[in-house]
Amino acid sequence: MKECQVCANIEIKPLFIKDGFPYQRCPKCGLIRIEPQPANEQLDAIYNGKYYDNWGGEESVFINMKKKTFFKILEFLPNVKNENPKPALLDIGAATGILMEVACEKGYDVYGIEAAKDGAKIICEKFGQDKIVNGYFDESFGKWQEGSFDIIVMCDFFEHVKNPKEVLKKTYALLRQNGKLILHLPDAGSMARAILKKRWTNFIPEHLFSFSQSNIKIILKNTGFSINMIKTEKKYLNVQYAQNVLHYYAKFGGGGVVFGI
Ligand SMILES: [Zn+2]
């Protein structure tokens, strides 16, 4: 059996099967994972479609709502409009670039990595080819030298990665000294998850791992980070958006926010 990616425990217990995928839980640290993970072709089929159609496209009502969420996530970052050079911020899992827009408004020099073709195309139109890499993080991080970024953001990204420890090590290397990582992801220790059990809307095939506040602290510490702040918050939703999302991709329901240095 493949050992727990957080605590290296080798006695992982089966939890349930959902949509044909076997979920397991580590009794020691509580990490929930899909094991074996979906095949590359299955994941490619998910990401290479019109992944962001369920975000409501570029309609202003959805953009404003997303912006509100990202403002909240980035609220502790200082406004750096008057700094020269501008601090560099990398958004990993940049979606359609809305978080990059918010960070840009605060004065940051923004860059993004996005696996979905449709999302990367929209970002390219907004920011230019040199600001966005269309690909998976594992294949893309080498584009930048170590110590290139002051801030790295992973919003609804970290639960998608195949090797969370490797991703954090590479992320750490991309950060400058005193750089910050902002992680935003669903909280598997939430009340919603406890009540809904396998019906929790974050248990979807592309979420390969479900972290709780306690085990994400462990994996961050084991990869060199120290935790600066952890908080839980709700996403901003309106009814139309919730219906859109739930129809295609019931994803939202209890979100955790982790800030680490
Ligand atoms: Zn574990």
Query: Which residue positions in the chain have pLDDT lower than 50?
Result: 237-238, 240-261
Site of tokens 């908080």: 231
- Residue 56: phi and psi, rounded to 5, are 90, 20
Measure 68 CA to ligand 1 centroid, in angstroms: 34
What integer pLDDT is reported at residue 6 of this predicted model? 97
CA distance 32 to 49: 26
Measure 73 CA to ligand 1 centroid, in angstroms: 28
Nearest of 113, 117, 176, 183 to residue 153 by alpha carbon: 183
What integer pLDDT is reported at residue 164 of this predicted model? 95
Q: Cα dist. 182→14, 24, 117, 154, 258 in Å?
A: 31, 27, 24, 6, 6
What residues does 181 pair with on adjacent strands?
152, 260
CA distance 222 to 235: 29
What integer pLDDT is reported at residue 49 of this predicted model? 61
Measure 6 CA to ligand 1 centroid, in angstroms: 5
- Are 153 and 90 contacting, i.e. CB atoms less than 8 angstroms apart? yes
- Give Dmax (Cα) for the chain: 53
CA distance 148 to 119: 23
Q: Tokens for 30, please give them.
A: 């509580």
Amino acid making up residue 244: N
Q: Is 243 helix (H, G, I), strand (E, B) or coil?
A: helix
CA distance 118 to 127: 15
What integer pLDDT is reported at residue 84 of this predicted model? 93
Measure 32 CA to ligand 1 centroid, in angstroms: 9
CA distance 185 to 201: 13
Measure 13 CA to ligand 1 centroid, in angstroms: 10
Site of tokens 């006695």: 11
Measure 136 CA to ligand 1 centroid, in angstroms: 25
Q: Tokens for 218, please give them.
A: 């462990």
> What ranges make up the beta strands (E) of the chain?
13-18, 21-25, 32-34, 88-92, 109-114, 132-134, 149-155, 175-186, 209-210, 227-233, 255-260
Measure 127 CA to ligand 1 centroid, in angstroms: 40
Measure 215 CA to ligand 1 centroid, in angstroms: 8
Measure 110 CA to ligand 1 centroid, in angstroms: 35
What integer pLDDT is reported at residue 78 of this predicted model? 87
Q: Tokens for 159, please give them.
A: 């639960």
- Are 187 and 159 contacting, i.e. CB atoms less than 8 angstroms apart? no
**Which CATH number does the domain 57-185+214-260 belong to among 3.40.50.150, 3.40.50.1980, 3.30.2350.10, 3.40.50.2300?**
3.40.50.150
